[in-house]
Amino acid sequence: MSQQSELHRDLMTAIHAHFANLRYDINHIERIIGCIAKSSDEKVVEYLPEGNQSISSLREVLSTLQIHCEIFETKQAMLDGG
């Protein structure tokens, strides 16, 4: 295996681990917001739509990153001859 291919493999392994961590963190934040939603404090509740929008934005960014990662992997596989 070439040094470049090995580096690519290591990079992709790290990226996939970060994707998993990000999904876990987003789900955790979503659960926290769900708990906050049960609050009777009006000042707290007024920020819930922003929190939900933030979670949606994070999920969209994660999806976009995954697509770019897949494109990169496909191009790298073509360069590696496979």
Q: Rounded CA gap, 19 and 8, in Å? A: 16
pLDDT of residue 27: 92
Question: What's the pLDDT tens digit per position in 27-36?
Answer: 999 898 888 8
Cβ 37 vs Cβ 48: under 8 Å: yes
Residue of 57 and 48 predicted with greater confidence: 57
Outline where 37-47 has alpha helix (H): 42-45
Structure tokens at 58: 């994070």
For range 16-29, the mean pLDDT: 91
Overall size of the chain counted in residues: 82
23-51 burial string, b = 16+ CB within 10 Å, else e? Answer: eeebeeebeebeeeeeeeeeeeeeeeeeb
**pTM recorded for the entire structure:** 0.73
Whether 24 shows a pLDDT value over 90: the answer reads yes
Res. 46 pLDDT band, cuts 50 70 90: confident
